[in-house]
Each structure stands twice: as structure tokens, then as C-alpha cells.
Structure 1
Amino acid sequence: MINVIVAFPKIENAKSIKNILVRSGFHVDAAVTTGAQALQYANSLDGGILVCSPRFVDMMYTELHEYIPATFQMLLVASPDICNEHEVADIMCLSMPLKVHELIQTVETMSYTITRMRKKRRTEPKVRSEEEKRMLQDAKELLMVRNNMSEEEAHRYIQKRSMDNGTGLIETAQMILSLMHA
């Protein structure tokens, strides 16, 4: 599920856009009136979409875009003039007057993009620190010496224990090292 925050200076506008999105099946986490409130919610969530106006009492959309987490995408709802000249390249823009079907299609497209990016991040191999690599290698070497295993067998043994116990590879290597050194 994609998190959505709606931020407009007038709460009536924020609530009406929130209602449109909710009726279309989106979960809206907050409808707020200031940039600071939008940032507060954005920092507490794991990415999503920020639907907002160009101006707030406390900041402009460019400042808001600068401060929101990188896992958030911004959908700016503004006059055609602002949409044509907005400076930031990765901001989607819908011009006023807002058409409901355009809003829904744009949010659906952005949701799809965010979902694909999340899946891609999950499939990327985890980068291990030098200390973690050393610990994993030490655990394999200990298994190789004590249990007369090849490096491949030792690695598979750590992987299997990791999966069986529901722990990470490094945590399992730590357990093996602490148990065999005791």
C-alpha cells in the first residue's frame, strides 16, 4: 500500500482531494495545511506520494521538495503557469482546474512507479561491510577446520541455519563463532 499525504493551505481543499483519493481506493495518511506538517508525516512514513499546492504559509513547494525523504514523490497541483515553469524535474504537475480522472490516473501511475522501485530495492544484493565479510569468512573457516567441510559446504551450512532460525547470515555467523569458541 502506498502512503499518500495531501497538503494544501486551505483544509477544505486538502479534505476534498483526500476524499476523492479515498473513494478511488487509495489510503490517505494525512490531510494537512502547512509544509512543516507534511514533512512531519513524510518523515514518519516509508515513502509515498505527497499531493500539494505550490504555496504554504511556511514554505514553497521547492523547499518542501528539498526536505521530503527521497522515498517520496511529489504531485504538484497548481495553475497552468506554474506547471509550465516549475524548476524541479522530478515533480509531477497537474494544472488547475483539476480533473478527477487525471488526478486518479496520475496517482495510480506514481503508485506503480513507487511499487516497482521498492521491489527493485529488495532484489538488489545487500552490501556487507568489511567487518561483516570478515565475520562470515571466520565462521566458514571455523566450520571448515572443525567439521572438515569445504568452503562451499560451510557457506551452505550457514545459509541453511540462517533460514531455519529465521536470522540473517551475519547473525548466524556470529552465533557459530560464539558457540564454537566457547
Structure 2
Amino acid sequence: MTNVIVAFSKAEDAKNIKNILMKNGFSVSAVCTSGSQALNSADELGSGIVVCGCRFADMVYQEIYECLPPGMQMLLVASPSQWNGRAPEDVVCLGLPLKVQDLVSTLEMMMETMARRRKKLKNQPRERSKEEVDLIKQAKELLMERNHMSESDAHRYIQKCSMDSGTNMVETAQMIMSLINR
């Protein structure tokens, strides 16, 4: 579940938004009445959505947005005259008066977007370090020399052994190196 931080300068507004979100199945991680409280909560959680108003006693939403950790998004709830044309590109804005269904559907959309982004990042292959690339290359060279394989055959052999044993290619290359260099 995505972390949600509710931040409004008036405690009553924050409590009302929190109650609306909780009634609609969202889990609210923190309720804040100042920008610094919102930033502290965001730093602790690392990722999620900050639902906030435009102004606080200590800062405005733009200052909060600029200090948010990379995994956080912002949903600004304010009068259109307060943010019209000045809100950063990736701040989602909802105008007042606020409709509950608009708030709920916007938050759901933001959560789906975050989940898709996380899944996409998770599915990207991890970059190998220079040492790992060199180790695989050495194992291929050893196979090519000792078993008279072409480079593509040696690579395929390491891949197949890796898949058969359920280990990654670096671990398989290490095993090949240790078995051959006894």
C-alpha cells in the first residue's frame, strides 16, 4: 500500500481529509499541520503521496515540493487562483470546493501510476559492475581455451548453467572459474 501524508495548516482540515481518505480505504501514514512536519514524515517514509494545502505557517507548497525525496509525489488541494499556472509540472492539483469522488479517484490514479513506475523499475535488469563483466569475460575465455568453444557458445553455456542452477551469470562464472582453476 502507498503511504499517504495529509498536510494542511488547519488541523481541522487535515483531520477531515484524513477521515475522508480512511472511509474510502486509504491508509494515512501521517497528519501534519506544518511544512516541516510534512517533510520529516516524507523523509521517514521515503515514498508515497503528500496531500496538502497551499500555505503553511513555515512554508508554501512549492518549498515542500522542492525538498521532497524522489519517491514522493504531491497532490495539491487549493483554490485554482492560488496555483493556476504556477504549479510545477508533476504536482497534481485539485481545485476547491473539493468533491470527495474527485479526491478519491485522483489519489487512486496517482497510486496506480506509482505502482506501474515501481514495477517498471523492478523489471529493469541491474547494471553489472566492471568487475562482474570482467569475471564473466574471463570465464568465457577459459571455456573458449579449454573446451575449444566460440565466444557465443561459451556465453550460451554460462547462461544455460546459470538458468539450470538458478543462480545469476556472475555466480555461475565464479563457479566455472573455481572448477577449472583447481
How far apart, in 1, do the equivalents of 2:116 and 2:175 lie? 37
Q: What is the aligned partner in structure 2 of residue 157 from structure 1?
A: 161
Work out whether residues 144 and 154 of structure 1, in 8 Å CA contact, stay in contact via their aligned partners in 2. no
The TM-score normalised by the length of structure 1 is 0.82
Residue 127 of structure 1: how far off its partner (Å): 1.9
Q: What is the aligned partner in structure 2 of residue 11 from structure 1?
A: 11
Give the unaligned 5+ runs of structure 1.
none
1:136 equivalenced with 2:136 (yes/no): yes
How far apart, in 2, do the equivalents of 1:147 and 1:4 lie? 58
Aligned residue for 1:85, secondary structure, equals coil
How far apart, in 2, do the equivalents of 1:179 and 1:72 lie? 45
How far apart, in 2, do the equivalents of 1:169 and 1:12 lie? 56
**% of aligned pairs identical?**
44
How far apart, in 2, do the equivalents of 1:125 and 1:78 lie? 41
Give the unaligned 5+ runs of structure 2.
none
Aligned residue for 2:98, secondary structure, equals coil
Say what the alpha-carbon RMSD is for the aligned residues.
2.5
Q: Which amino acid aligns with 1:155?
A: Q
Moved more, 137-146 or 92-101: 137-146
How far apart, in 2, do the equivalents of 1:38 and 1:73 lie? 12
Residue 137 of structure 1: how far off its partner (Å): 2.8
How far apart, in 1, do the equivalents of 2:40 and 2:139 lie? 43
Q: What is the aligned partner in structure 2 of residue 66 from structure 1?
A: 66
Distance 1:146 1:50, change over 3 A: farther
Matched pairs, number: 177
Distance 1:140 1:29, change over 3 A: farther
Work out whether residues 158 and 172 of structure 2, in 8 Å CA contact, stay in contact via their aligned partners in 1. no
How far apart, in 1, do the equivalents of 2:169 and 2:27 lie? 35
Residue 81 of structure 1: how far off its partner (Å): 0.4
Q: What is the aligned partner in structure 1 of residue 105 from structure 2?
A: 105
Distance 1:176 1:45, change over 3 A: farther
Distance 1:17 1:148, change over 3 A: farther
How far apart, in 2, do the equivalents of 1:169 and 1:38 lie? 43
Q: What is the aligned partner in structure 2 of residue 54 from structure 1?
A: 54
Moved more, 29-38 or 99-108: 29-38
Residue 61 of structure 1: how far off its partner (Å): 0.8
Q: What is the aligned partner in structure 1 of residue 175 from structure 2?
A: 176
